[in-house]
Amino acid sequence: MSHVVILSGPSGAGKSSVAEALAQRYDRTVHLETDLLFRAIRMGHIHPMQPESDRQNRMIARAAARAASAFAQDLFAVFIDGVIGPHLLPIYVDELKVAAVPVHFVLLLPSVEESIRRVTPRAADRRMIDAEHRELHRQFAGHGEFAGCIIDNTAMTAEETADVVMESCGRGDCLVYTPV
């Protein structure tokens, strides 16, 4: 049976590494990185952290969910990774309903220090990364109650985190949509 797992969290949370580790565990898988969709916008791109990016961020959510739906309908397990705020989750769920597959939402949330440590080698401007990560972490950690599950993977490898994601999804802890 196919399913969709949405992996969210700040940069450096391990979303892409965990999605790859999960994708290696199934026969038919797709790893959709929302970053690729953001990079596809050539003219008119707005940094997703800017307040005026809301329309663009919602469009990317729809595009990612529609692509995931197409793959899931063809019996692929789909792993979406991106900095996906809980406010965008309803867009994903609405677009994925047509696929009639279970949808899981997992927030990977290592400590802010670990997240910054992981992303620093990729960063051009350390000060901007520090400020952006602290703000993202504050938003995710302070969001309170939301659908899905939170995994603190501060001290875990990608493989260990993938194990916890599989166990949590298998128990239904991260389930945000079940087809009727």
* Domain with 49 in it: 4-177
Strands (E), the chain: 4-8, 29-33, 77-81, 103-108, 149-151, 175-177
pTM as predicted: 0.90
Give a three-class secondary structure readout of 142-173.
Answer: CCCCCCCEEECCCCCCHHHHHHHHHHHHHHCC
Number of H helices and E strands in the chain, helices first, is 7, 6
pLDDT digits (tens, 9 = 90+) for 72-105: 999 999 999 999 988 899 999 999 999 999 999 9
State how many domains the chain has: 1
Q: Which residue has the tokens 């026969």?
A: 27
Q: How many CA atoms lie within 13 A of 21 on its CB side?
A: 17
Cβ neighbours for 3, distance < 8 A, ≥ 6 positions apart? 72, 77, 78, 101, 102, 103, 104, 169
Inter-residue contact 79 to 30 (CB < 8 Å): yes
Backbone conformation region of residue 78, classed left if phi is above 0, alpha if psi is from -120 to 50, else beta: beta
pLDDT digits (tens, 9 = 90+) for 37-86: 999 999 999 988 888 999 999 999 999 999 999 999 999 999 999 999 88
Residue 150: predicted pLDDT: 92
Other beta carbons within 10 angstroms of residue 49's beta carbon come to: 13
Which CATH number is 52's domain given? 3.40.50.300
